[in-house]
Structure formats: structure tokens, C-alpha cells
Amino acid sequence: MKTFIKAGKIIIAATILLIIGSILYIRFSRYTDAMIYHTNGLEYEIFETSMNHSEYYFEIDQNTQLHGVLFKPKTQDPIATIIHYSGKGMHLMASQKYYEILTKKGFQVFSFERRDFGRSTGVASNSLMLKEDALYVFDKIVADENMTEKPIVIWGQSLGGSFAIMNAAERSDKIAGVIIEGTFNSFPDIGKVYAKAINLENFKWMIPLLMNNDFPAEKEIKKISKPIVIIHSDADEQVPYELGKKLYEASDKANTEFWKIQGKHIRGIFDYEEEYVQKFIDIID
């Protein structure tokens, strides 16, 4: 009997060690980072647009070149610059329909494609590396000759909202304000929403242990003293409305507005065009 009890204890201890070892491996190998940022079939050979624009390639290292484009108004000097962090699947061929609305109103819009996405090269497997890329590109573009002395507004949608909040917190002195739409409050919380996709539907409690939270939006939004507009649809099926509200609750209400809309994920600029564009105008006025 004692032998069986001893064997049982050994099995339990081995199982616990295996679980702990697996959690540590997934966490420190940044396995979830690769899952978040990896895309399939979202590359293209040639960038094409009918919009007035300037194209950029930022050399990060010998294996990484980031592709960016500054879209400009056709008939006037820009009234301000919008730096856009797009959603996970929005490369620069897909996002132009968003920019057409804004350039017609006098804004110029800059965006770039993260590593291993669109026309950009490199490996997107580390959130900290992607954070460094974003700040490097921001610093480069705001110093570019195509940028005027006009105000800068950072705009982030969905996954890009995490980058937007980080950028705004790190470079608050360079911007007039920030607008985000359909964005979540933390990677662990959105990870719980998509737990089923990684076969962890019954183990959601493990998600915070497995995921790095290098873009802690709930903490970073508190650092932003400039105007913030958080936009979220109460019918959003990709990023639950409650996560947008959590982000708002973490913010400083003195400089943050929450705009509840209706409609599909990050479609507000099409469903509420005049009101949406006015949010940008209000920030720069």
C-alpha cells in the first residue's frame, strides 16, 4: 500500500512539474507572440494606389525592412497628420479605403506594415521587438521632410490600438491626441476571448500565465495627458464591448471620451463618417 501511495505522489509531483515547465516554456519562448502577429496570405508583390502618396522603407537590420506609406490630400496642404496603427489583417492595400475619407477632409495619414506582413520583411515573433519597431518608425517619420509643423494624432484600431496607446504614452510630447477603436484592455483578457482557438476553452485561468503583456494598455493609458477618444461598438463580435469599457475605466476621465457606437468591428468611420472625422478635428482645434 505504501508503495502505491509513494508512486501516486511521484506521479502527481511529475505532473505538476510538467505543467509548470510547459507554462514557463510557452511564456518565455514567446509562443503566443508568434500566434498573435503571424499572418498567412497577407503579403503582396507590388504596392498600388491612386492616392497622392510617398512610399518609405525603413531598414531595421539586414533581415528586416519595414514598408510604410504617407497618404496625402490631393488638393490642399494637410491640416494635420494621422499616424495609423491598423488591425491585424489590414495591410496598406486593404486600409486605403479608410484613408480616402480622411485625406478628402485635409488630413495626411501615415501607416506602416509590421514585420512579416504586407511588404515588410523580418520575423514577427516578439512583442518587445515590434514595440521598438513602432517607436523607431514614429521617430523617423515625424522628422521627415514630408511632415509639416501641423499636429499629430495617433489612431489605432483593434490590435493596432495597443500600439497606438503605447506610442502615445511613450511620445506624449509629440502628439495632439489619440483615437482608438475596437481595442481591448490587455492581451491576457483578449486571449481569454480566443481561448478556444488554442484549445484552452476550459483552462482560461491559464491565459495570463502563458501570455506576455508587453502592451499593458490599462496601465499605459493612464500616462497619456493629451485628449483620448475610445470608440467601441456594442455589437462588436471580434473584440467584446466590455473590454473597451474596461480600457475606458482605467483611463483618466478628465481627458478621455468614450463613444459607444453600433455596427461591425472597426467600421465606425464608414457608419458615422462625419462624426468620426469630427473627433480628429476636435483634437487638433
39-54 tens-digit pLDDT: 766 788 899 999 999 9
Paired with 56 in beta bridges are 68
Paired with 123 in beta bridges are none
Give the model's pLDDT for residue 199: 55
> What is the Cβ-side half-sphere exposure of residue 145, based on CA atoms within 13 angstroms?
2
Report CA-CA distances (Å) from 116 to 61, 122, 126: 14, 5, 12
Confidence of residue 9 (pLDDT cuts 50, 70, 90): low
| Residue closest to 232 by CA, chosen among 254, 263, 204, 256 | 263
Phi, psi of 181 (to 5 degrees): -140, 135
CA pair distance 257, 270, nearest whole angstrom = 20
pTM beyond 0.75: the answer is yes
Give the model's pLDDT for residue 193: 74
How confident is the model over 232-246, as a mean pLDDT?
A: 96
Q: Is the pLDDT score of 145 beyond 70?
A: yes
**Arithmetic mean of pLDDT over the chain:** 87
Highest average pLDDT, of 24-28, 209-213, 241-245, comes from 241-245
How confident is the model over 73-101, as a mean pLDDT?
A: 94
pLDDT in tens, 24-37: 545 555 666 666 67
How confident is the model over 111-137, as a mean pLDDT?
A: 93
Confidence of residue 22 (pLDDT cuts 50, 70, 90): low
Q: Which CATH number fits domain 2-284: 3.40.50.720, 3.30.420.40, 3.20.20.450, 3.40.50.1820?
A: 3.40.50.1820
